[in-house]
Structures are given as C-alpha cells and as structure tokens.
Structure 1
Amino acid sequence: MAAVKTSVTALPESRVRVQAEVPADEVERRVQQAARQLGREMRIPGFRKGKVPPPVVIRRLGRAAVLDEALRNSLGSWYVDAIDEAGISPIGDPELDVGELPSEGQPLAFSIEIGVRPRAELGEYKGIEVGRREPHVEDSMIDEEIDRLRDRFATLETVARPAEAGDHLVVDYVGRVDGEPFEGGEGRDQLIELGSGRLVPGFEEQLIGASDGDRRIVEVTFPEDYPGELGGQTAQFEVTVNEVKAKRLPELSDDWASDASEFETVAELREDIAERLSEADRHAIEHEFERAVVDAAVAASKVEIPEKLLHARAHELLEETLASLERRGVSKEMYLRIAGQDEETLAHEAEPEAERALRREAVLSAIVEAERIEPSDADMLEAIRPSAEREGADPQRLLERLRHSGRLDRLRREVAAGQAVERLVAEAKPISVEQAKARQKLWTPGREEAGQGSGRLWTPGSATP
C-alpha cells in the first residue's frame, strides 16, 4: 500500500475533509508505469512497436499528458489508501478535488470530502434492564413435528373421488404459448402434489376437483423472473388426469416410532422432540435478548443523522441487496421490474432500515471507544477462521492478505463492535417480559397504535411488509 499521508478535518453534518499527499517517488513510479503502457501503443521511427521507452514517450506526449494518464489509472487506489490511512468509515459518494498537477520531483496533493458514520452521545448502557422470555414448548408444536415425521413415511393410495388439496395426481400434459408447443412443456405420467406450490402459480389450483380420466385446460402466466424466454408469458396446458392418489399417514404407534426413529416408544420420541424444540427456543431467546439489549442502548443514546447521510446509507443498503440478488441470478433490471419501482423509490423505502443501522453502528462505535475495546491478534484470527476454513486457507496467511490489502482495519472495527455487543449483553439485567411491556407502555403511551412501516427492502420470496 502506498504511503499516502493524510490529515482529517471534521465538517458539519457528519462529513469530513481528508487532505492527502502522495509522495513524489510514488507519483514518479506511476508516471513511468503510464508511460510504459502508452509506449506499447505508439509507433515511432527507430523503435519497435510496443518497445518505446518511457523517456521517449514523455518527450513526445509531454509530461502533463502522461501524468494525466497516470492519475486516471492511480487515483482510485490512492483514494482507498487515503481513506484507510485516515481511519474513517465513509458513506456515500466522495467529492474529490485534485490540486495543481505536480512538477517532476514534487508530491501530489488532493482532498476528499465525504460522509462518515455519525458520532453518538451515549446514554446509560451498563446494566440495562431488558425483557427476556423463558423457553416454552407447546404440545401443539410437538404434534406438528410428529406429523412432519409421519408425513415423511406416508404412502400414496389410488382413490376413486375428485382430487382435493394435498392429493397427488398422475398426469399427462402438453403446454403451448400462442398455440405453439415449447421446450419442456410436455410430460407423461408426471406425479404432482396439489397445494405444494412447486409448479407455476395457479397450475395446481385449477386441478382441484379433477377425477381419474378428466381432461382440463389449465391457463397460467409465468412469473417475470421465470428462467429462459417464458417469463411473463401466458401458456395453456392440456392436462389429462390418469390417477388421483391420497396420502395415507402411518398410524401413530410405538411400532412406527421404533421404525421411524432411534426411540422405542412415541413417548420417548415426543420427549426428544420437546428437548430439541426447547434448545432451539433457547438459542432464539439469546438472539432476541441480544437485539433487545442493543436496541435499548441505542434508544438511550443521542445520534444526529443528517438527511444527506441517511440518503447515502439507504442507497448503500439497496446496492448490497442488488449485489446479493445478482449472486442468486436475479439481475437488477429483473428485480426492479418485479418490484414495480425504480431505484430511488426503493432507496427511499429503505431509509428507516438505514437509520436503524446508522444509529446502531454509531452507538457501538462509541461504546468501543468508551470501553477502550481493542481486539487482540487472537481475536482477529478467531474471527476469520470460518472464512479461512471455507477457502481452505491458513488463518494467519489470510490475516496477512487482509493487512496488505488495507481491509484489516475494517475487520478490526467489526470484531470490536461484536465485542461491545458481548459486553452489553453480559452486563444487562434480564427482567420478565410482562414487566418490560408494562414499563414500555408506561413510558411510551400510544406506541401500539402508532403505525410504522418496516422500512425493510423487499426481496423475492419475502413476506410483504
């Protein structure tokens, strides 16, 4: 990483100005690098193509032109170096100002104005009293698990009656779009489950009530994000029902329990399910309590969030969502078409979530500073161990890679924030949920009636906010 020198000046509304200086030797190295690249494309008598030496390139084009090319190639990495050296966490797009282009042997100066994470004025955060529920497992929850297990051992029996939701049908079908068959649109003796939701929306529902030997025309519209060329198109399927099959669950008995599990009786199986459900609930309670403790610390603190910063953070969240969807095969254009909204509208809807994130980050950062939390090298190694195992890499070498790429400081801040959360939770005082609700109602009358949007970005498959 280049030795970019920086100084930071705080500005109003959670913005900073970073004055950066690139050493003269680094500037000259990049100028020579740019000259070599330009020389590969130049034709000059007396030199082979692509072999024009940098001094000749600089004389021919002029130092200013070569320096301009060097800036285009290098300013991005110098910007990253300056941000890392300044030790700030930027938000939004920077305003970059490059001063006068330096003469040979002179450093390059430039400045950056950008939003940063807001600072928090901490309230009381030690020994916070927060509601924490007790693990609880209903008999109905155990029954549901038992039924799911029985369903795995269910058999299908042919029945002479109209099909109902939950039945299986053996069908032949031929699909057409605009009267023409399409690839993958024909099947013979296919087994489908009515109500499973595995087929194109609307297909299964139109076969409820069908009997053995029936023929039906099923019309469906493929979702916009359907793979291939069928997305958004309407198709007609000619479906012939060959069989109607009903699902038969095994009798709930000790014999079945011994066949389906490692236990000899239904009672033993139920006891094991109850313990597993209770353990899962205990983990859920831990996560709920952790969130509630952090939320309480945030609520007790004061964080000023300028509108411009909020807008930038909301756009960051949207970009993170779009990148995640892209990795799952959903393009930005497809997502916007499905959502029926443009980027600016989606970013605006994400502002409540962005505000929560900014407040949480600011408060945890302030606690890290107040408590002087400094992750050790062992803490850092432990934090990256899962990533190292996924990559099949040595944790120490991965840590060195992060250090050389300038990403170690960011990881250190994330680890420190996690340790701040652990400290908050360890010092918090659990109280009953009833007591917590009573206090909340007393302190914030009318809160239950106040309608507030979730502010969470919708993604395919998520529930409507």
Structure 2
Amino acid sequence: MQTTLKELPESRVEVQAEVPAEDVRRAANRTARAMARELRLPGFRKGKAPPALVIQRMGFGAVLSEAIRDALPEWYEAALLDAGVTPIGDPEIDMVSTPEEEGEPLAFKFEVAVRPVAKLGEYKGLEVGKEEKEVDEEVIDTEVERIREGFARLEPVEREAKEGDSVLIDFEGFVDGQAFQGGKADDYLLALGSGSLIDDFEDQLVGAKPGDDVEVEVTFPDEYQEPKLAGEDAVFKVKVKEVREKILPELDDDFASDASEFDTLEELRGDIREKVGKALNSRSEEDFRIAAVDAAVDAATVEVPDEIVTARAGERWERMERQLAQQGMDPNIFLQMQGKTRDELIEETKPDAERELKREAVVTAVAVAEGLEASEEEMVEALAHTAEHERTSPEKLLARLRENGRDRVIAEDLVAQKAIELIADSAKTIPKEEADDRKEKAEAAEKILAPEGEEKPAGKLWTPGDE
C-alpha cells in the first residue's frame, strides 16, 4: 500500500491511500467465496462455485462494493501503519476511485485527529516535589490480621448466630410460591456479614440457632444477572444445621512460625514492614515520574482542540467498557449505578483526557528533540514475556510484528519510556509540600495576570518522521 500524508489545521491529518490491484483482487475473491455459500449455480454444489464465476454472475461492481465494506477496516489499519499515524477518535473516510474492472487499484482517503505537537519549554533540571512516605503501623496490623484470618478455624457452637459467625444451611428459594432454578443448595457454609448472598439474606439469619427453620424474604436487584428474577420478591426456606464460631489464633511467636518462615512475631512484622516500605517507595517513585512529566507539560505550550479531547475521553470510556465486560458487568448497568449517561461520564473525564494528551505530546517532543531511539536488543527484551506466553522466541515475534509494521508500536513505547526517564532523572527533588505551595501561587498569579480571553498560538503538528 502507498500513502501520502497531508497536515491539516486543528491537529488533523489527511491520508491518501492506494490499495494495490492484487489486494483488491484478493478482497473481491474472498467476498465472492462468501457469496457462493448462498448461491446455486448450474454444475456446482451450493457453496462450491469458483470466485471468478460468482463475479461473472453477480457483476464485478456488486462484488467489489461488498468487498470494500468488508476490507476497508483492514485497509484503514494498513494505511495508518504505512503513514506512521496514531489516530485519535474515528476517521472520516471517502472513496477516491474504485476499479471499473479487475486488475486496477483502488484509492481512498481519510481525515483523522492525531496527537498535537508540543512546543517545549524547560524539561531538564526541573524542581519536582516528592513525597517521602512512611510505613503506617496500622497497615502492618491490618496485614497481620489478614494472615491471622487465613489461619482461623470454625468450631460448632450451641447458641444464636451473630455477625462474624458462619452457618451451615440448606435452603430453597420460591417466587410466587414456585421454586426456581439455581435457588436450592444443601450444606452451604455462609459467613454472616460477608455479603456473599443477596442483600438482607444474611441479616435474617442473625439470631438463628442450630435446628431452626427460618423463612428469609428478599427482593432481587433490578440488575440481577438472571432476568427472570430481576426485581422479584422471593422467599427462601432455610434450615440452620450448624452455627460455627470463628476462632482466631493467638498473636504470638507460635502463630508467626505456623504462618510464615519466621520464628517470631516481630520478625514477621519486620518482613511486612519491609515489603510495605518497598511498595510505598515504588509508588512514590512513580508519582515523582508523573509529576516530573507534568512539570515539563506546564513549561511547554500544547494546544489541544476540544474535538480531540472529546475523542480521547470517548476512547477512555470504550476501554472501561471492555474492562467491565471482561469482569462480567454490563456497562449500561454501571452507568445506572453511577447515575450518569455515557455522554455525562465522557464530559467528566475530559480534563483527564486533556492532561493525558498533553503528557503524550511533551514526551514525544522530548524524544524527537533528544533523538531517542529503540535498539533491536531493547525491542527483543521488551517482547520476552509475550513471546514466552505465545511459545515462540522474542526474535521471531519481532520479525512477525515487523512484517505488518506493528513493531513501530513497541519502538514508540520504549522511546516514550526513555523520554520519561530522561525528564525524571534530570529533575531536582524538593519536598512535595513546597512544590504544591509553588504551584498554588503560580496558578493564582496566572489568573490575575492573564488577559481575559487571550489565546496562545497553536504549535506545529508533529507526525512521525519530522525533525
């Protein structure tokens, strides 16, 4: 595929793309084979007619029209890779020319928003606040209790159940007097207060004794995963077979020895303290890196059109939709729980989306200014984990990515990390409180001094290959 790139105002580009005749032929044949599955042509069983005959019968134009609809997303991705463009939001695609007959190329063009360019200010030697976090003893206590809970034992007791106990129960649920599928269980061990069953179910078992029969009345939530039960009132007939009390081990050296490789409780607490300290330090370092990049952003000039901010905010929501789906939650139910519409949530995230775009623009500009590159060895190393998962070598995986131009994504990530490290490593550390105080004063001064409605000039758009 051949592409030409043209910069447009407002951080947009136009890409002209020509699809080779051979690629057009393959797409048409692929569509013709799909059409053949629904055609009966004389002399051929259904689905067995050759593509050439299907094209002859249906007409090249009709087959090509369907082929374009099927292949255009693939051609669009190929054009992005060839032009070295990372899009933001959806493109506006137009056909430039379509073949009149087989053996001719196809041309299309599209406009799409891209990351704006940053006009860099200072990005080395910036004074950046860093918070020194100390390990809170309460965090250690909480972790010790978590371990202790894991070594708890349950002992049957002859008394009323209370929160924190577990009950061994048989139960069966009924809606309008009829038992429903999935509403029955025997020898079910339920921890009271765990929230593992429907709201109010566990509360109605507090006070029950071994041998009691209890009728538990509940209402299924409107968003319940089984639509037939959603919003319905139900009655569960419950037989309490046992009440079991949770017995925690004593907090002593014997517990530490049983629960860990340490001989004493103090040694166990010391190990937890060290691990928590490392985690806090790691978080502090990451916060410092982000703050250093933000300081470089504040020193730079980056104009981000609202259209691009909205598009990025939309992309962030789409990522969240996929994450929710992977967790088994309907995104629409999530929106209902938040009491917001999709558009309202996108509007709320626009400030974060704008900051994200500015960070990317500055990091990219620093990489270009410093001439940063990713070496072959670094790319191979970066692919090691993925290659192991795919049961191949990093070298072979890189070669495969290189065939379709996707190695550029790996290289860009590595270069971005180098730019971030450069900014952070050169930064001068100051107390976070001092940095926050300076920022507040600077923002206050800017509000006082900035003329109302004054606009800063937009920077030149950066695209791959610019110097």
Same fold (TM over 0.5): yes
Shift of 1:48: 8.2
Paired residue secondary structure (2:234): strand
Shift of 1:89: 0.8
CA spacing shift, 1:230–1:55, aligned 2, 3 Å: closer
The one-letter amino acid of 1:98's match is M
Q: CA RMSD in A?
A: 3.2
Alignment-derived partner of residue 142 in structure 2: 144
Paired residue secondary structure (1:125): coil
2:93 pairs with 1:96: yes
Shift of 1:87: 0.8
2:291 pairs with 1:292: yes
Deviates more, 1:106-115 or 1:40-49: 40-49
CA spacing shift, 1:57–1:424, aligned 2, 3 Å: same
Unpaired runs of 5+ residues, structure 2, are 447-467
The one-letter amino acid of 2:151's match is F
On the 8 A contact 1:253/1:265 being kept in 2, the answer is yes
The one-letter amino acid of 2:286's match is H
CA spacing shift, 1:82–1:161, aligned 2, 3 Å: same
On the 8 A contact 1:225/1:338 being kept in 2, the answer is no
Shift of 1:353: 3.1
Q: Distance in 2 between matches of 1:256 and 1:427?
A: 47
Alignment-derived partner of residue 121 in structure 1: 119
On the 8 A contact 1:225/1:330 being kept in 2, the answer is no
Paired residue secondary structure (1:120): coil
The one-letter amino acid of 2:384's match is R
CA spacing shift, 1:182–1:416, aligned 2, 3 Å: same
- Percent identity between matched residues is 47
Count of residue pairs brought into register by the alignment: 444
Alignment-derived partner of residue 82 in structure 2: 85
Q: Distance in 1 between matches of 2:30 and 2:255?
A: 75
Alignment-derived partner of residue 112 in structure 1: 110
Q: Distance in 1 between matches of 2:117 and 2:31?
A: 41
Paired residue secondary structure (1:127): coil
On the 8 A contact 2:126/2:292 being kept in 1, the answer is yes
Alignment-derived partner of residue 457 in structure 1: none
Paired residue secondary structure (2:217): strand
CA spacing shift, 1:167–1:53, aligned 2, 3 Å: closer
Alignment-derived partner of residue 461 in structure 1: none
Q: Distance in 1 between matches of 2:154 and 2:45?
A: 79
The one-letter amino acid of 2:195's match is G
Alignment-derived partner of residue 192 in structure 1: 190
Alignment-derived partner of residue 128 in structure 2: 130
Q: Distance in 1 between matches of 2:186 and 2:34?
A: 62
CA spacing shift, 1:58–1:135, aligned 2, 3 Å: closer
On the 8 A contact 1:98/1:111 being kept in 2, the answer is yes
Q: Distance in 1 between matches of 2:213 and 2:58?
A: 78
CA spacing shift, 1:16–1:155, aligned 2, 3 Å: same
Superposition TM-score, scaled by structure 1 size? 0.83
The one-letter amino acid of 1:281's match is L
Shift of 1:288: 2.1
Q: Distance in 2 between matches of 1:251 and 1:69?
A: 73
Alignment-derived partner of residue 5 in structure 2: 8
Q: Distance in 2 between matches of 1:39 and 1:203?
A: 58
1:207-261: CA deviations, max 9, x gaps?
Answer: 3344455544333333455444444433222334444433222222223332332
Shift of 1:51: 7.3
Shift of 1:415: 2.2
Q: Distance in 2 between matches of 1:78 and 1:341?
A: 37
